[in-house]
Structure 1
Amino acid sequence: MFATATRNFVDEVDRGGLLIPVSSLNDSIHVLSVVVKRKRVWFWQKPKYVPTDFTLNDILTGDTPITPVVNEADFIKYNGTFGDHIQGAVDANFAHASLNMEGKDASKLQTTFGSLKKEEVDVQKLLKDSENGVLDMSHCLIQQTKEKHRQVFGIVKERIVTTAPCSVIEEVQQCGQLEGLLSLCGLKTSKFSLKENGSLSKDSNVTMEIPPHTTIAYGLIELEVKRNGHYELCLMSDTYGSFEVDGALMSVSGAQPVGEDAHLKQELEQLHHHFQLLSSLPVATRSSLLQHLIAAMQDMDAISTLQDVLDHMCLGDGIKTESHINSVQAILELLDVESSFLRALHMVTSALDEMRNDCLSVLTTCCSPTVLQSLEILVLQCVLGSAELPLCSADLAPLTDEVYEKAEYLFPYLNVTLKRDGDTVKTEIIHQPSNLPLVLCIAVKGLASLARDG
C-alpha cells in the first residue's frame, strides 16, 4: 500500500527522472545514507535499490566525519486518488482442467501526503569534503557488497519528506464467481475465501497514518570505489557506480532501452526459447500457473514479492526469509526450482513487475486464452513497425469492442499506440528511450504461452 502510493507519486512528479520511491516505512533514509544498487537479472528491469542502516561516515576511515550542508525548500503539495473500476471474465478450457471466472473489481487508493519538503545536499561542498576521504574496505557492508559483482554503492543526495501527519487509504471491493476444476489461490489467500464452485468476495478499507519527516522518495549519487578505498562521486546522470576488482571497474548501469524496432524483434527472438518452455509445460501446470498469475496481477505488492523471490533464486542467492517462500509456495511447487522453467516464469513476472498497477488491472481482465491470442498478434506487430491487420481476420475475432477499448487504454502506457482505421487495426511504437514496448510483448506473449490449448 505504501509502496504503491510512493510509486504513483514518483510516476506523477518525476517519471523517467532520478527520484526513487521508498518501498517500506521501515526504511530509514537520510542524507548521506548508503543505498545498495543491485542489477537485476533481465536488462529491461530497473535496478533494485536496497537502503542500509549505514551512512557514508560509518564506512569512512579516520575520525573527521563529513558534515554536509543541506538545503531545504518547499517541494509541492501532493494529494492523489487512483482507482480502477473493472468488469471482466476469464473463460479458459484445457484438456484436463477448466476455469470460468467473472467479476467486478472496484479499488481506490487515496494518498494525502500534503505539503512536501525537499532536502538536498550541497554537492560542491560534498565533492570538496570527499577529496581526501577513504573508505574502510574491511567494513562488513563493503565486503558483503563487493562480493556481489552486480551491486554498487550510492549515497542519498536528496530526499522528499512529509512535513505533517498524512495518510494513505485503500478501499477495495471485489466480487465474482468462479467455477472450475482448479481453485484460484493467489499470494493473498488470507484475505478472501473461495470454493471451486462458489463466489469470491473481498471488501476492505485500510487507513495508514504516516508521521511527519517520513521520506517518500530520494535521489542518489553513486560511488566509484577504488581498491585502496579512495572513491569518486558519479556526478553525471550517465555515469554509474562501480567497485574496482582485480584492476577492472565492475559497474552497474540502469536499464538500457532496446531502441529500434529491428532490435526489439531481435530481443524477442532471443527469448523465444523461454516462451517455448512455458508452452511445453503440462496443461494442468500451465493452467494452474496462469490462475496464480491472474490472482497476483490484481495486486502490485504481490507481483513485487513474487519477483523478489524469483530474483534471488535465479541469481543463486536463495530465499531471504521463510515468509517470502511461504507467500509464493503454491507457484514454486508447480515447478522444479532448479529448472529452466523457473527462469522462464521469472522472465514473464519481471515484465509484469515493470508495469503500472492500473495496466496490470486491465491486463488481468484480458487473460482468457482467445483474447490473449488476439492481443499477442497485436503486440507482435510492434516488431514489424506499423503493420496492419484486417479486423475480419479469424485471429482477431475475440477482439470485441470491449476488449479493444481495454487494449486501447493499455497500450499507450507502454509506449505503443493502437489505431483502428475502418476495417483494419495497427500498432505503432512511440519512439522514446524505453523498454516498455518490449515489456508489453513479453507479458502478453508469456501469458499467452501459458494459455495455449495444446
Structure 2
Amino acid sequence: MFATATRNFVEEVDNGGLLIPLSSLNDTIALLTVVVKRKRFWVWQKPKYIPSDFNLNDILTGDIPIKPGVIETDFIKYNGTFGDNIQGTVDANFVHTNVSLEGKDSSKLQSSFGSLKKEEVDVQKLLRDSKGRVLDMSHSLIQQTKEKPRQVFGFVKERIVTTQPCSVIEEVQQGGQCGGGLSLCGPKSSKVSLKENGSLSKDSNITMEIPIHTTIAYALLELEIKQDGRFELCLMSDTTGGFEVDGLAKKGLLGEKSYLIQELEQLSDHFQLLSALPATTRSFLLQKITKVMEDRGAVSSLKNALDQMCLDKRLALGDVTTTEPQKQNIRAILDLLEQSGQVESTPVLTALNLVTSAMDEMTNDCLAVLGMCCSLTVLQALEQLVQCVSGKGELHLSSAGLAALTEDVFEKTEHLFASSNVSLKRDGDTVKTEISHLAGNRPLVLCIAVRGLASLAHSD
C-alpha cells in the first residue's frame, strides 16, 4: 500500500527526476543516511535502493563529524481524486504552476498528503566540510558492499516530508465493469487512497495511519570511491558513483538512437524465443498478461515471481501481494510455464521476465494506454512503429499491418509514444518518429514491452 502510494506520488510530481519513492515505512531516511544503490539485471531497469542503518559520518575516518547546513522549504500542497466511470484527476499545486493528470479507473480514489516540506543539504558547505575526508574502508558496510558487483554508495541529500498526519487507505471494490472496452477494469480491483486524518471512506478495508515528519521520497548524492578511501561527490546527473575496483564505468557517449539500436539488437533473441512458442501457449500468455496489466501492483508481483523463478527454477507465489483475481491470473501464467516445461528453460523464463520488467518500468499512464492496445492487429501496428523508431524514423501508412491505426487508435498510440519521450507525427501518408533529446531509457522500455507483447501475438 505505502510503496504504491509513494511511487504514484513521485511519478506525478517528479516524473523522470531525481526523487526516489520510499518503499517501506520501516526504513529510516534522514539527511546523510547512507543508501546502497543496486543496479538491476537489465541495464535499463531502475536500480533498487537499500537504505542502511548508517549515515555518512559513521563510515568516515576521524572523530569530527560533518554537520552540513540544512535548507527547509515548502514543497507542494498535494491533493487528488480519482473516480470510476472514466473520470479522474490528480492535482499537485506548486508555487508557480499546477500539474493535473487524468486517469480512467474502476474504483474511487481520493488522495491528499496536504502540505509537504523539502529538506535539503547545503551542498556548497558539504563540499567544503568533506574536502580531504576519507572513508573507513574497513567498515563492515563498505566491505560487504564491495564484495557484490553493480552496487554503488550514495547518501540522502534531500527528502520530502509530511507536515501533518495522514492515512493510507486500501479499498477493495467487488464487481463492476467498465464499458467502452477499457482495459483498466477487472472483476475486483485494489486501490490506494491517501487522505488527511479525519473521516475515512466507509468501504475501505485497510487503513494505515502515517505520522507527521514521515519521509515519502528522497534524492541521493552518489560517491566515486578510490581504493584508499578518498571519494568525490557526483554532482552532475550524468555522473554515476562506484568503487574504483569496478572501473567506475561511465555512461557511453552514444546518441539516443544508437543506444536504442544497440540494446534492441542484443535483446532480439528473447523476442524470437517468445515468437517460437506454440500458438496456444502464446495466445494464453498474451490473454493473461493483458489482464495483469490492468493492475500496476499485479505487474510488479508477476515480475517479482519471474525474478525468483529465474533464480531457483521453482514457482514463487508466496510473495505475490495483489487482489485474488490477479493472483489467479499470475498463478495461471506460472502454472502454464511449469506444465509446458518452461520452468527448466532459463531462456524462455528470461525472455518473459524481460517483457514484464519493461512493463514494470513504465509509468502508470503508459501502462494503462498499452493495456488498451493489446489486440493482435494493434500490436502488429505498434511493432512496426517501434521498429521505425530504431530504424529510418519514417513509415508509410499504406504499409501492411497498419490498417489497425484508425483515428482513435492513432490518438492513443500518439499519447503512448509521447509519454515514452518519442514524438509520433503524421505527415500526409507518412508517420514520422523522433526520440526526444535526453530521453533516457523510456523509448527502450516502450520498444521492449511492445516487441515482447507483439511476439506473443504473432500468427503462425
Q: TM-score, normalised by structure 1?
A: 0.78
Instruction: Tell me the distance in 2 between the aligned counterparts of 1:297 and 1:258.
Output: 32
Equivalent in the alignment of 2:270: 274
What is the Cα deviation at residue 312 of structure 1? Answer: 6.5
Equivalent position of 1:181 in the other structure: none
- Superposed CA deviations along residues 206-257 of structure 1, whole A, max 9, x for unmatched, are 4554221111211111122233333332233332211132xxx443667x79
CA displacement 1:258-288 (0-9 Å, x = unmatched) = 6454553443233221110111123343233
* Contact kept? 1:118, 1:161, Cα under 8 Å: yes
| Conserved 8 A contact 2:309-2:343 | no
Give CA-to-partner distance per residue, 1:363-410, whole Å, 9 cap, x none.
11222222211221233222234423335x552333344433322332
Identity over aligned pairs, percent: 62
Query: Relative contact order (C-alpha < 8 Å, sep 6+): which is higher?
Result: 1
Counterpart position of 1:288: 284
The counterpart of 1:340, out of the listed 327, 347, 367, is: 347
Residue of 423, 434, 455 corresponding to 1:449: 455
Q: Is residue 261–residue 385 contact of structure 1 (8 Å, CA) maintained in 2?
A: no
Among candidates 238, 248, 251, match of residue 251 of structure 1: 248
Distance in 2 (alpha carbons) for counterparts of 1:135 and 1:123: 18
Q: Does 1:379 align with 2:386?
A: yes
Matched, 1:412 2:418: yes
Aligned counterpart in structure 2 of residue 438 of structure 1, from 433, 444, 448 = 444
Aligned residues: 410
Distance 2:20 2:47 in 1: 10
Determine the C-alpha separation between the residues in 2 that align with 1:441 and 1:303.
Answer: 17
Q: Are 2:304 and 1:324 equivalent residues in the alignment? A: no
| Distance across 2 between alignment mates of 1:389 and 1:440 | 21
Distance 2:254 2:457 in 1: 27
- Asked whether the equivalents of residues 151 and 252 of structure 1 are also in contact (C-alpha less than 8 Å), the reply is no
Q: 2:34 — aligned with what?
A: 34
Give the aligned partner of residue 352 of structure 1.
Answer: 359
Partner residue of 2:405?
A: 399
Mapped partners of 1:436, 1:257: distance in 2 = 18
Aligned to 1:299: 295
Tell me by how many angstroms 1:117 deviates: 1.0
Q: Contact 1:86/1:362 (CA < 8 Å) preserved in 2?
A: no
d(CA) in 2 for partners of 1:252, 1:110 = 44
Match of 1:230 in 2: 230
Secondary structure, in 3 states, of the residue corresponding to 1:324? coil
Distance 1:49 1:3 in 2: 13
Q: Which residue in 1 is equivalent to 2:94?
A: none
For the Cα contact (< 8 Å) 1:3–1:24, is it kept in 2? yes
Distance 1:229 1:390, change over 3 A: closer
Distance in 2 (CA, whole Å) between partners of 1:236 and 1:341 is: 39
**Equivalent position SS for 1:160:** strand
Aligned residue runs from structure 1 range 31-430, under 5 A = 31-81=31-81, 105-131=105-131, 133-168=133-168, 175-176=176-177, 200-202=187-189, 206=204, 208-245=208-245, 249-251=246-248, 259-261=255-257, 263-308=259-304, 310=306, 323-324=318-319, 331-333=333-335, 334=337, 335-336=342-343, 339-390=346-397, 395-420=401-426, 424=429, 426-430=431-435
CA RMSD of aligned residues (A): 3.5
* CA shift in 2, pair 1:317/1:227, >3 Å: farther
Shift of 1:154: 0.3
- Structure 1: which 5+ residue stretches go unaligned? 88-103, 178-190, 193-199
1:20-58, CA deviations, whole angstroms, 9 ceiling, x for partnerless residues? Answer: 222232322111111111112223223222222222233
Quick check: 1:416–1:427 contact (8 Å CA) kept in 2? no
| Distance verdict in 2 for CA 1:403–1:286, change over 3 Å | same
What amino acid does structure 1 have at the position aligned with 2:273?
L
Which one has the bigger strand percentage? Answer: 1
In structure 1, how many angstroms separate the alpha carbons of the residues matched to 2:142 and 2:40?
A: 20
Amino acid at match of 1:429: E
The 3-state SS of whatever aligns with 1:126 is helix
Deviations 1:335-384 (A, max 9, x none): 32561112212221222122111221221122222221122123322223
Residue by residue over 1:394-441, the C-alpha shift from the partner in whole angstroms, topping out at 9 and shown as x without a partner, is 52333344433322332211122334456x351412422123222222
The aligned counterpart of 2:9 is 9
TM-score between the two structures when normalised by the length of structure 2: 0.77
Shift of 1:157: 1.0
Counterpart CA distance in 1 for 2:313 and 2:61 is: 33
Letter in 2 for 1:111: S
Unaligned runs of at least 5 residues, structure 2: 88-103, 179-184, 192-202, 322-326
CA distance in 2, matches of 1:291, 1:86: 23
Distance 1:14 1:8 in 2: 10
